[in-house]
Chain A
Amino acid sequence: MGMTITEKILAHNSGQEQIEAGEIVNAKLDGVLANDITAALAIPQLQEMGYEKVFDAERVFFVMDHFVPNSNVNAAMQCKVCRDFARASDLKYFYDVGEMGIEHVLLPEKGHVLPGDVLIGGDSHTCTYGALGAFATGVGSTDLAAGLAKGELWFKVPPSLKFIYEGKLPRYVSGKDLILYTIGQIGVDGALYKAMEFAGAAITELPMDGRFTMCNMAIEAGAKNGIIAPDEITEKYVRMRARRPCQIYTSDADANYEKVYTFDVSALEPQVAVPHLPSNARNISEVKSITLDQVIIGSCTNGRLSDLRAAAALLTGQKVHPYVRTIIIPGSQEVYLQALKEGLIEIFISAGAAVSTPTCGPCFGGHVGVLAAGEVCLSTTNRNFVGRMGHPQSAVYLASPVVAAASAIKGRVASPWEVV
């Protein structure tokens, strides 16, 4: 029986020839990620388990990104726990203010995650790295502590769902639209406990940034991991960054899928997920005029260079609507610097947008753009749950960077075609 890419990776790291969905395996971890919120919980648990150090100081990545630069005293205290621990245990890769980015933008960029890896992260969007052909999944702090201690963790091998996207994506339709559309089709628990494997002509054409966006939101359909088999685009991305060898896996032709979905995307419209679930995806032409108070362009979903380039292309020579607070957050220092060199930051500032240092900030209602009761935000982030970005009576619409840029200009949810 053939295996899927997910099964092959888990088989390799658990030292087995053949595995199948439903089996419980103990897999070696190639990397363990934590952020300022989840590391702060895991560190005392690690110590309680009887460990003073992590399993490998070069395989552990701590990224201070959620409440950083520290938004209040509690956040500062929490980060201090991480900072003190990182120094005491000689963590090689500890990313703090000035060096850090949003974890899921940063780790691939730094070459810390490679094809074929098994990686866990104390953050649900760890599934982002599936775009590189790795098995990556989010865990809570206790699993995180266990992973930090032992460099291995148990997994139940997930059944795989295959999504085949046929056709060529229209202009202004991106990875974000593909994934919002997909979640709209299968629901927020449509891939619960499962692997979502993305393939097809539209994926082959999709640049790395769009692939990261898609795998990033696999968790919004309840998936354990999202994954795309590596190809030339992946190899080119990895070649510039990898500092160790990696292993390319692809699914066998006779691999077992619980279900195969095929979508023709050649006429897909930009998608908008209306409050309060990511699965409430609509064609933009069907979203009635919604007045906005804020637009956010950033996050681990859409804070990469091509996202900023796409937004800047629409904002060039334009002004954002005076009633719309437009906040643009480059996903990492590398993205920020490159955007600066390319003149994107100047375009944003001239358009009347604010540009922030990399941070999760408003994405989870933490800081840098929290919403008041009754306010409405359109955001390139990944969740629009009740209260996600602030007051329980605020509302969030999810969309791509081009929809966000057009909406910022118009002061309401708008299609990119309205401003070009």
Chain B
Amino acid sequence: MGKAFVFGDNIDTDLIVPGKYLTLSTPAELATVCMAGLAEDFVLRISEGDIFVAGRNFGCGSSREHAPVSIKAAGVSCVIATSFARIFYRNAINIGLPVLESAGAAAGIREGDEVLVSMEKGLIINQSTDESYTFTAFPKFILEIFQAGGLVDFIKMQHK
């Protein structure tokens, strides 16, 4: 469970991790610049478990995996959006950051709402308003990657 940060449409990867920070590579370093394109010290507002909620096309722009890594390392437990840009979406799954497509949740959740996500039940629950929303289920193939803990571990398992 965590509190929601609400963003608009087309949040691009230059807002999430601006180009000048692309010489950083460890999760710990990248956490410090999460959403620095919006506010340099944005990360200070995030507590462990918080949730990002956005409109259409979240994560558009570059292929930089720094973006989902930074969001995850900053403590964000999942990103809910009406839709995601495709490279960001794959990257997030590959590194184990849950990304949930739910137009209902994106429309219904307000900044600061307390939100609970149940991956097992496929439900997003807004505890501040008592509303709940479903999200688009993942294909089996992708669930296997999730279960392995991400693509690195998935391939490591196969390789053995």
Count, A-B residue pairs, CB within 8 A? 133
> Which A residues are CB-close (under 8 A) to B25?
40-41, 78
> Which B residues are CB-close (under 8 A) to A24?
139, 141
**B85 interfacial contact with A, CB 8 Å:** yes
B159 and A392 contacting across the interface, CB-CB below 8 Å: no
Given contacts A143-B91, A392-B37, contact A385 B61 (CB under 8 A): yes
**A325 interfacial contact with B, CB 8 Å:** no
> Which residue of chain A lies nearest to B37 when distances are taken between CB atoms in the complex?
A387
**Complex Cα distance A326/B93, Å?**
41
Indicate which residue in B15, B37, B60, B66 contacts A222 across the interface (CB closer than 8 Å). B60
B19 and A364 contacting across the interface, CB-CB below 8 Å: yes
Q: How many residues of chain B get a CB closer than 8 Å to chain A's CBs? A: 41
Stretch at the interface among A187-195, A207-215, A288-296: A187-195
Stretch at the interface among B70-78, B110-118, B122-130, B150-158: B150-158
**Complex Cα distance A154/B85, Å?**
17
> Which B residues are CB-close (under 8 A) to A40?
25
Given contacts A41-B66, A141-B65, A222-B60, contact A146 B10 (CB under 8 A): no
B18 and A189 contacting across the interface, CB-CB below 8 Å: no
**A172 interfacial contact with B, CB 8 Å:** no
CB distance from A276 to the nearest CB of B (A): 9
What 1/0 flags go to B40-74 for Cβ under 8 Å of A? 00000000000000001100111111101000000
Stretch at the interface among A42-50, A108-116, A306-314, A328-336: A42-50
A48 and B18 contacting across the interface, CB-CB below 8 Å: no
What 1/0 flags go to B72-92 for Cβ under 8 Å of A? 000000000001011110110
- Size range of the interface on A? 35 or more
A123 and B63 contacting across the interface, CB-CB below 8 Å: yes
CB distance from A248 to the nearest CB of B (A): 27
**A75 interfacial contact with B, CB 8 Å:** yes
**B121 interfacial contact with A, CB 8 Å:** no
Task: Give me 18 other A-B pairs in contact (C-beta within 8 A), A37-B64, A38-B63, A364-B14 excluded.
Answer: A38-B65, A48-B156, A67-B23, A121-B63, A140-B63, A140-B88, A142-B91, A143-B151, A145-B151, A188-B60, A189-B83, A189-B85, A219-B87, A366-B19, A370-B20, A383-B62, A385-B14, A387-B15
19 A-B residue pairs with Cβ-Cβ distance under 8 Å, sorted by A, are A67-B23, A74-B24, A140-B65, A140-B68, A142-B95, A142-B150, A142-B151, A150-B155, A188-B10, A188-B60, A189-B83, A224-B86, A364-B14, A364-B19, A365-B19, A365-B20, A383-B61, A385-B12, A386-B14
List the interface of chain B (C-beta within 8 A of A): 10, 12, 14-15, 18-20, 22-25, 37-38, 56-57, 60-66, 68, 83, 85-88, 90-91, 94-95, 139, 141, 150-152, 155-156, 159-160
